[in-house]
Amino acid sequence: MKKLPYDWLEEIINLAAEWVVVVDREGIVLFINEAYCDYLGTTQEAALGQNVRDVIENTRMHIVAKTAHAEIASIHTIKGSEMIANRHPLYIGGELVGAVGAVMFRNAADWMAYSNKVQPLIEELDYYKKRFANELKSKYSFHDLAGETEVFLQAKQLAERVSSSQSAVLLTGQSGTGKELFAHAIHGASSRCAFPFVRVNSASIPEQLLESELFGYEEGAFTGAKKGGSKGKFELAHRGTIFLDEIGDMPLAMQSKLLRVLQEKEIERVGGQETKPIDVRIIAATHRDLEAMVKEGTFREDLYYRLNVMKIDVPSLAERKKDLPLLAAVLLKKLARAFDRPQLTLSLEAKNRLLLHSWPGNIRELENILERAVNVMDGTVIRMNHLPLYLQDDPAMEQRSSTEETAIIPLKHAVQQAEKQAFKAALNRSPNKTEAARLLGIGKTKLYDKCREYGL
């Protein structure tokens, strides 16, 4: 291979580092660039062949050449200015032949200018590292799953038992029952807890973006693709856990691709040609009846059995009403911290009214009711008049049959009931929420808002 000419090397050194000096093992200067000579008030001709101590004041180059101990970011005072220099032993063919030194910053001002440029980048990097770490780890443990009823304790004990396994878990239950908290707790108690916990809501991502969101994409895969491409959720979850919420809303085409990933344990980015191996544990959740969907042909049977290795049914709040006072106390502690309102409590009358409610929206509905009450109340005790109007009505109203044609209920309550029934009917007609929104003549965002409100 052709070697670079000496004058090329000298020019490269001048460009790459401002001040450079090279000495042999006796400390004799073998090379020093012009910029360094200009500062020292000498010339290359005068400096070459001289002892480095006679050329550079306070130098330690002769010491590094003897001891072979590098000195990194060392403060070096020349002409009253404190500079920062690096000194390295120089080996050729495995033999110590001397040392090379370079002044990195000529004065404190140079260092500060560099620091001022780099520090914001370091702080930004630290911010995103912390944010990334916080977003990709489990936030809840089994200790956070409050409840004492038998049906809840059975679900919790099963979840604790399967935490140490590597098998897929399918969490089923109505919306708002806390399936995501179970997923957090399972990951946090598993051997994968030190690695990412990545959440994906299959229903909230547009169908045309779901593949790239899950599996990533290569540069140029589509218009607007980032330079260098992007990792998907599965790559981010490598060696950790991926939580696929609302798996029942995943389009059939994506179900096929997901099944392949689970079988082959590898992904292929959109627009890519190579596969990447992944090691990910799957936790899926749904409020839908997947077995019925399999029979209808809207959910793949093979994917269902791949996910349904360990099935955990998370009970509804109606099935565990005895836990309501305990759950309310936990939620009120959380709200007390958020609103800076210490010792929030429920009055006996309000607690009894909540126990009579049917709770179609489950724990999510309970949290919304308590948060609303904290917003409208004075003091620290939630009373009947702080509850929503539909809870201030006669509790027997909820039990009345629709056959009572003469029964009169508040208009607001009637509208809410009719609206909820309309949403249920649309979702039963079409599990795909985009299609359900179209049937109702509303936007997808409003559909999601209403589903959260009514616990659908």
Closest-CA residue to 320 (of 287, 367, 350, 363): 363
The first and second tokens of residue 365, run together, are: 């509905």
pLDDT higher at 36 or 183: 183
- Tokens 């999510």, residue located: 364
| φ and ψ of 408, to 5 deg | -115, 125
Q: For 387, which DSSP code? A: S
Q: How many whole angstroms separate alpha carbon 329 and alpha carbon 417?
A: 28
Structure confidence by residue, pLDDT tens digits, 383-427: 998 998 888 765 655 554 333 444 445 566 667 777 777 877 777
pLDDT over 80 (residue 160): yes
For the chain, list the domains and their CATH numbers: 6-109 (3.30.450.20), 142-313 (3.40.50.300), 318-399 (1.10.8.60), 405-456 (1.10.10)
Instruction: Please give the share of the chain, as a percent, with pLDDT higher than 90.
Output: 52
Closest-CA residue to 375 (of 401, 397, 403, 344): 344
Q: Please state, in angstroms and as integers, the Cα–Cα distance from residue 161 to each residue in 156, 177, 189, 285, following that order.
A: 9, 20, 10, 18
Q: How many whole angstroms separate alpha carbon 147 and alpha carbon 315?
A: 11
Cα dihedral 300→298→427→364 (10° resolution): 0
Structure confidence by residue, pLDDT tens digits, 25-53: 999 999 998 888 888 899 999 999 999 99
Q: For 85, which DSSP code? A: E
Query: Lowest mean pLDDT: which of 164-168, 238-242, 429-433?
Result: 429-433
Average pLDDT over residues 430-448: 77
Length of the chain: 456
Whether 362 contacts 455, CB under 8 Å: yes
| φ and ψ of 332, to 5 deg | -70, -35
Q: How many whole angstroms separate alpha carbon 237 and alpha carbon 384?
A: 46
Q: For 98, which DSSP code? A: E
The first and second tokens of residue 340, run together, are: 């800076």
Q: How many whole angstroms separate alpha carbon 393 and alpha carbon 395?
A: 6
Looking at residue 413, what is its pLDDT? 61
Whether 248 contacts 431, CB under 8 Å: yes
Q: For 232, which DSSP code? A: -
Instruction: Please give the share of the chain, as a percent, with pLDDT higher than 70.
Output: 85
Pairing of strands 281-286, 241-245: parallel
Specify the 3-state DSSP secondary structure of 3: coil
Looking at residue 346, what is its pLDDT? 93
Whether 440 contacts 426, CB under 8 Å: yes
- What is the separation of C-alpha 75 from the centre of its chain, rounded to a whole number of angstroms? 42
Query: Lowest mean pLDDT: which of 133-147, 357-371, 433-447?
Result: 433-447
Cα dihedral 236→238→240→244 (10° resolution): 60
